[in-house]
Amino acid sequence: MTDDLQTKKEKMIKETKSIILIIIAVLTFRSVFFEPFRIPSGSMIPTLMIGDFILVNKFAYGFKVPFTDLTIGDKSFDPVYMFGKSDPKRGDVVVFKYPKDLSVNYIKRVIGLPGDTLEIRNKVVYINDKPVEPKEFDGKEIMSDMDDKFKGYNLKFYKVKTGEHEHVIQQDNDNYFKVDFDKITIPPGKFFMMGDNRDFSYDSRYWGFISHEQIKGKAMFVWFSFIFPFGENPMKFRPGRIGTGIN
């Protein structure tokens, strides 16, 4: 009986160690390589829809020491880079720590880089005095899959090229709240972020710049898209979005 108890105890210890090692390996992988995130809001529509589950490349802008960019409660730590630290490119879609509350993750598009001048005139973005020309197109296909909360707005859709990224933005034709933005120069080490859903995005136009240390990684693709039924929100499953690359 004693031998049986000893054997069971040793087996339990061995299994516990294995589970702990697996958990550590998974957490390390998420910290250094890839991490999944869920899109809870519509600020990046039509690039990202509410309910999209995305995969983020955590080493796109440098290889970090595991667990050095943790946020615990109201305490946030800056990442320590082992090698390969680089700036995001204009147009990249990135996940970052929200400057007003570093425990919250945001996702936006990089519009302005360090040293750029940036202004907005009549909703057109000017970078270094050159406009990012929007080309309007028929967005019926986008509207057919639009999240319900935005279907009642007078939306217009535009193709733009931000850096090397060709993507779509949408604007509310009846919204004149943030039509213009005074010219600024982006400080060293800082980035200006905007959502593709331009009139429904709380971004750098409101809360300022982000730093490289706040960037968690680059969004790669949608691996699942599902809205859970909650309150008045109907269930919505978008199988056609699975595998969609994020440009």
Main-chain dihedrals φ then ψ at residue 94, nearest 5 degrees? -130, 150
> Quick one: average pLDDT of 125-142?
96
What residues are paired with 172 via a beta bridge?
155
Distances (CA, A) of 180 to 105, 183, 207, 210: 27, 9, 16, 21
Count of Cβ atoms closer than 10 Å to residue 106 Cβ: 24
> Which pair of tokens denotes residue 54?
């995305």
Nearest to 143 by CA among 49, 243, 41: 49
Q: How far is Cα 125 from Cα 111, in angstroms, rounded to an integer? A: 9
Q: Does the pLDDT at position 235 exceed 90? A: no
Q: Does the pLDDT at position 11 exceed 90? A: no
In sequence order, which residues have a C-beta less than 8 Å from that of residue 171 and are 6 or more positions away? 123, 155, 156, 158, 198, 199
Structure confidence at residue 13 (pLDDT): 81
In sequence order, which residues have a C-beta less than 8 Å from that of residue 42 and are 6 or more positions away? 49, 50, 147, 149, 150, 197, 200
Q: How confident is the model at residue 242 (pLDDT cuts 50, 70, 90)?
A: very high
3-state helix, strand, coil in the chain (%, to 5): 20, 40, 40
Residues noted as catalytic: 43, 108
The label of the residue with tokens 């279907």 reads 151
> Quick one: average pLDDT of 31-59?
93
Q: How far is Cα 151 from Cα 148, in angstroms, rounded to an integer? A: 5
- Span 144-202, pLDDT tens digits: 888 888 989 999 999 999 999 999 999 999 998 889 999 999 999 999 999 999 999 99
149, exposed or middle or buried, with CB in 10 Å at 0-12, 13-18, 19+?
middle
Q: Please give the mean pLDDT across all residues of the chain.
A: 91
Structure confidence at residue 6 (pLDDT): 73
Structure confidence at residue 228 (pLDDT): 84
Structure confidence at residue 3 (pLDDT): 66
> Quick one: average pLDDT of 39-48?
96
Distances (CA, A) of 60 to 77, 89, 116: 19, 11, 22
Q: Does the pLDDT at position 1 exceed 60? A: no
> Quick one: average pLDDT of 44-55?
96
Out of 3-17, 162-176, 217-231, least confident range? 3-17
Q: Which residue has the higher pLDDT, 5 or 208?
A: 208
Domain 36-241 top-level CATH class: mainly beta
Give the torsion through C-alpha atoms of 218, 224, 225, 230, to 10 deg.
-110
Q: Sketch the domain layout of the chain as residue ranges.
A: 1-32, 36-241
The proportion of the chain whose per-residue pLDDT surpasses 90, expressed as a percent, equals 73
- Span 78-127, pLDDT tens digits: 899 999 999 999 999 999 999 999 999 999 999 999 999 999 999 999 99
- Span 190-201, pLDDT tens digits: 999 999 999 999
Structure confidence at residue 29 (pLDDT): 67
Q: How confident is the model at residue 231 (pLDDT cuts 50, 70, 90)?
A: low
> Which pair of tokens denotes residue 128?
């270094």
